[in-house]
Structures are given as structure tokens and as C-alpha cells.
Amino acid sequence: MNQYAYRETFKNILKCNNSRNRLVFKGLLFGEKTPISVFSSCSFSTRQEKDGFSYSHGSSTKRLLGKTIGQLLEERAEMHPDKEAVIVSKENARLTFEQLLQQADRLAMGLISIGVRKGDRVGIWSPNKKEWVLAQYATARAGMMLVNINPAYQVGELQYAMQKVGIKALISAEQFKTQDYFSMLEKVCPELNNCKPGNIKNQSLPEFQSLIMISDKQYPGSFTFSEIMDAGDQSHKGILDQIKSTLQFDEPINIQFTSGTTGSPKGATLSHHNIVNNSNLVGYRCGYDVNPARIVIPVPLYHCFGMVLGSLMNVTHGATTILPSPSFEPKAALEAVVKEKATSLYGTPTMFIDMQNHPDFGKYDLSSLYTGWLFFHFDFYGQYK
């Protein structure tokens, strides 16, 4: 594959009707502004382009961070308590760094109250919502391993993932597009209709004990998310404080599944150190260390793109992260850029193309953008996906 082929992909993306916004996107990719970054399994470093090596390494002025996610969140809340950390456009929800820390700890204490402890697996099965972000930081604060579950999974895929990693508690949305999550969960675990919340017993899922629904509706055998948020007390705070004092940055904290293209999905176990430094170094590449970072994230949080390169920018670079919609909607993403004066926009090639093909694309003022991140990868035949 030609090492400059990715530039041709970008040039095709820039073929849109509106000259002003075309120039904005072109400036991000090739102009004087910070270039839009490429995350690709066939990406090329400057060293590689000069020397022809697939991999290279050397000294760096950027030190790796030796801190846990929870420590970084606490530091950000101390430095900028009133700064906006998370904006969820469709829910009209906004959290400052102080509020994010407080609500993450409330959720952590609630999980502790139902018997979840350090090292236990907590699944999150949901499109992009405020509760997804709270689960991300709550589990990290308490040393629980967050398991990212694809919102598009069908019954068999969900059951496989839960069995594979031994999920103890699952936080689930009510639905995703046409999928009724609770109906699907009933097929995985019929015992839900005949058990008390927190007392699930299923032979095929021996570790699974608790289902937490992101809903005000009381589903059989399940807690509501708000119940868990309110369940912690001082005794659970004491347990949380004790756990926090034992956490190490190189301990596992997250499991992400591969796509399963060549077989069953594999669960990749990641440490604080893995994902914190991935996020941190990408932030430097995007210029978040020297420029204000208000990032629109239309990509899914269950994927490393949304969670690590997106949401974790809260704690690695003090960014404001903006979730425009539960799943990708071109109009919602464009509106979020304008309304929130976003400085960075994420997406895949098809997402950028869909935004540029939107009939009202030319009406949106995207001049606040100075950078972004475009994710694609190549298959064995050299075609991007």
C-alpha cells in the first residue's frame, strides 16, 4: 500500500459543496492549524517516512504518566472544580469536574453497597450517555474492571461477552435503536423475572449477580441506576477510601473486546497506565496541552476511540468532552460544534462524509475547530474501513 494513500482519502472527504466549511476541514488536515490526526493500523511516523522502518522508538521529551485514572480525576477537580468536564447534548446534562468526581464516587459507593469490589468486572451496555461516563470513572476510582460491551450486540454476542470475562454487575440502557435490551437480557438470564435485585443466579453466568438499568422504570430482578447512586453511605465511603489507597497505575482496569472479524471477540485487558498514556500522548499530538480543548465525540464510547482518545481527555488534558447524541447523527454533531464552540471534532471517514453531505452543512459555522481525529484502519487488501 502506498504510504501516502491516506492523504487521498482525506482529499476525497474534502469534496463538499460549501467553500467555507471545506476550507475549515482542509485547514485541519493540511493547513496552518494543528493537523487532524490519523489513527490507523497502517499509520506512518516521521521517522518511518525517512528511514522506511515499520516501528521506531527513541528518547522523548514527554514522560509517561504514572498515575491512576482516579488520581487524575481528583487532581483535575482540585485544579478546575467549576470547569465543564462533560456535556451530553441530547440529555441537556452538564457536569463540572467537581460534579463528575462527586457523582463518580457516589456510583462507586453504590456499587460497593451491592457487593462489587476491586477487581470485579462491571459491564456497561449502552450507547453514549452520561451514565456511561460516570461508570467509566466510578469503576476506575474503586479498582473495578469496566467491561465495554458493544451496544449493537445481539443476544448470543452479549452472553458470550458476559461469560468470557465473568461480569458480576451489568449497567444497561433500556434500548439502542430498535433493540429492547431488557427483552434480550431475559433471553440470556430468564431468572431475572423470579429473583430479587442483586440476587441473580444463572448457571451459565455464575459470577453475574446484579443488573442495573439506566431507567426510572423498575424492571424485574433489577436495580435502577438512581437506586445505586443513592445506595452508598459512610461505611461504603470508608471502603472506597481504603480501596483507593491501594490502587496502582499498572493494575488492570478495563476490558475491551476486539471486533470478532476473524473469530470470536477477544477481551483485551488494559491497565490505567495503558489507556492514560494513550490518551495523554494523543492529546499532545492534537495540541490539547497548549490550546483549549472542547471535543465533540460522535463516535461510540465502548470503542477505544470514544473512551480513551475521547472521554479520558477530561483527566489527561482537562478537556471538555461533548457527546452530541447516543449514536452518530450528522446534524447533532454539527449542531454541537456550533453551540458549544468546539475546538476538536472526532469521527470516521464515513462520519465526516455524512456531515459534509448534510443538506444544511453550509449553514454551520465550524470556524471554532482547530483540530480533530479521524479513525480508520486497513484490511489485508489495503482498503480502509
The residues near 279 (Cβ < 8 Å, ≥ 6 apart) are 308, 309, 312, 313, 315, 316, 317
Model confidence, pTM? 0.86
Q: For the chain, what percent of residues have pLDDT higher than 90?
A: 78
φ, ψ dihedrals at 58, nearest 5°:
180, -170
Report residue 48's pLDDT band, with 50, 70 and 90 as the boundaries: very low
Segment 303-328 shows an average pLDDT of 97
Segment 238-244 shows an average pLDDT of 97
Segment 306-325 shows an average pLDDT of 97
d(CA 330, CA 139): 31
pLDDT of residue 375: 76
pLDDT of residue 115: 97
Considering only 11-20, 89-98, 183-192, 348-357, which range has the smallest mean pLDDT? 11-20
Choice between 175 and 50, residue whose per-residue pLDDT is larger: 175
Q: Which three cell numbers stand for residue 327?
A: 449514536
CA–chain centroid gap for 23, Å, is 29
d(CA 42, CA 32): 25
* Residues 41 and 378 sit within 8 Å (Cβ to Cβ): yes
Residue 16 pLDDT > 50: no
pLDDT of residue 219: 97
CA–chain centroid gap for 180, Å, is 22
Bridge partners (DSSP) listed for residue 270: 254
Burial class (CB in 10 A: 0-12, 13-18, 19+), 50: exposed
Fold topology of 97-270: Rossmann fold (3.40.50)
- Look up residue 84 and give its amino acid: E
Q: For the chain, what percent of residues have pLDDT higher than 70?
A: 82
First to last CA, the chain: 14
Report residue 1's pLDDT band, with 50, 70 and 90 as the boundaries: very low
Radius of gyration of the chain (CA): 21
Segment 7-31 shows an average pLDDT of 49
| Angle value at C-alpha 306, between 91 and 84, nearest 5 degrees | 50
Report residue 30's pLDDT band, with 50, 70 and 90 as the boundaries: very low
pLDDT of residue 260: 76
Choice between 16 and 365, residue whose per-residue pLDDT is larger: 365
d(CA 208, CA 210): 6
b/e map 287-307, b = 16+ CB within 10 Å = bbeeeebbbbbbbbbbbbbbb
Segment 248-257 shows an average pLDDT of 95
Domain definitions of the chain by residue range: 97-270
pLDDT of residue 3: 39
Residue 177 pLDDT > 60: yes
Segment 157-178 shows an average pLDDT of 96
Complete DSSP assignment for 147-194? EEE-TT--HHHHHHHHHHHTEEEEEE-SEETTEEHHHHHHHH-GGGGG
d(CA 365, CA 328): 20
d(CA 172, CA 112): 18
d(CA 228, CA 162): 21
pLDDT of residue 265: 87
Report residue 134's pLDDT band, with 50, 70 and 90 as the boundaries: very high
pLDDT of residue 28: 53
pLDDT of residue 236: 98
Report residue 122's pLDDT band, with 50, 70 and 90 as the boundaries: very high
Residue 17 pLDDT > 80: no
Residue 380 pLDDT > 70: no
Alpha helix segments (H runs only) across the chain: 5-13, 19-30, 46-51, 69-79, 97-113, 130-142, 155-165, 181-188, 225-229, 234-246, 272-286, 304-306, 313-317, 330-339, 349-356
Sheet holding 267-271, edge to edge: 223-224, 210-213, 167-172, 121-125, 145-149, 252-257, 267-271
pLDDT of residue 385: 37
Residue 121 pLDDT > 70: yes
* Residues 351 and 328 sit within 8 Å (Cβ to Cβ): yes
Mean pLDDT, the chain, integer: 87
Residue 119 pLDDT > 60: yes
Segment 236-258 shows an average pLDDT of 96
d(CA 181, CA 280): 34
d(CA 347, CA 97): 25
Residue 78 pLDDT > 90: yes
pLDDT of residue 61: 79
Q: Of 242, 272, 268, 305, which is closest to residue 161 (Cα–Cα)?
A: 268
267-271/252-257 β-pairing: antiparallel
pLDDT of residue 200: 97
Residue 165 pLDDT > 90: yes
